[in-house]
A = this chain, B = another copy of it.
Amino acid sequence: MPAALDPRTGLPVVAVVGGGQLARMMQQAAIALGQSLRVLSAGPEESAALVSADVRIGDHRDLGDLRALAEGATVVTFDHEHVPTEHLRTLVAEGTRVAPGPEALVHAQDKLVLRRALREAGEPQPAWVEAHTVHDVTAFADEVGWPVVLKTPRGGYDGKGVFVVHGPDAVAELLERHGTLLAEERVRMVRELSAQVARSPFGQVAVWPVVETVQRDGVCAEVYAPAPGLSDELATAAQELAVRIADRLGVVGMLAVELFQTADGVLVNELAMRPHNSGHWTIEGARTGQFEQHLRAVLDYPLGSTEMVAPAVVMANVLGGAAAREDWSGPALDERIHHLMAHWPDVKLHWYGKTQRPGRKLGHVTALGADLAEARARAVAAARYLADGVVDPAFAFPHDPEH
Which B residues are CB-close (under 8 A) to A36? 50-51, 353
Residue in chain B with minimal CB distance to A362? B34
A138 within 8 Å of B by Cβ?
no
Residue in chain B with minimal CB distance to A348? B32
Pair B53/A12 contact, Cβ less than 8 Å = no
* A364 nearest CB across to chain B (Å): 10
A177 within 8 Å of B by Cβ?
no
Interface string of A1-30 (1 = CB under 8 A from B): 001010011111000000000001101101
A262 within 8 Å of B by Cβ?
no
Specify how many copies of this chain sit in the oligomer: 2
Known A9-B50, A310-B309: A302·B345 in contact at CB below 8 Å: yes
* A118 nearest CB across to chain B (Å): 31
Pair A301/B341 contact, Cβ less than 8 Å = yes
Give the segment of A141-149, A330-338, A387-395 that binds chain B.
A330-338
Which B residues are CB-close (under 8 A) to A30? 51
Pair B287/A32 contact, Cβ less than 8 Å = no
* A229 nearest CB across to chain B (Å): 25
Q: Which of B11, B28, B50, B310 contacts A333 (CB 8 A)?
A: B11
Q: Which of B3, B24, B287, B310 contacts A31 (CB 8 A)?
A: B24
Which B residues are CB-close (under 8 A) to A355? 8
Most B C-beta atoms less than 10 A away, residue of A3, A34, A303 = A34
A304 within 8 Å of B by Cβ?
yes
Which B residues are CB-close (under 8 A) to A338? 301-302
Pair A304/B345 contact, Cβ less than 8 Å = yes
Q: Which of B8, B50, B296, B354 contacts A45 (CB 8 A)?
A: B8
Interfacial residues of chain A within 41-90, with CB under 8 A of chain B in the complex = 45, 49-53, 55
Q: In whole angstroms, how far apart are the Cα atoms of A3 and B332 in the complex?
A: 13
Which B residues are CB-close (under 8 A) to A303? 341, 345
* A144 nearest CB across to chain B (Å): 44
Interface string of A382-400 (1 = CB under 8 A from B): 0000000000000000000
Which B residues are CB-close (under 8 A) to A334? 3, 5, 10-12
Interfacial residues of chain A within 354-397, with CB under 8 A of chain B in the complex = 354-356, 363, 368
A351 within 8 Å of B by Cβ?
yes
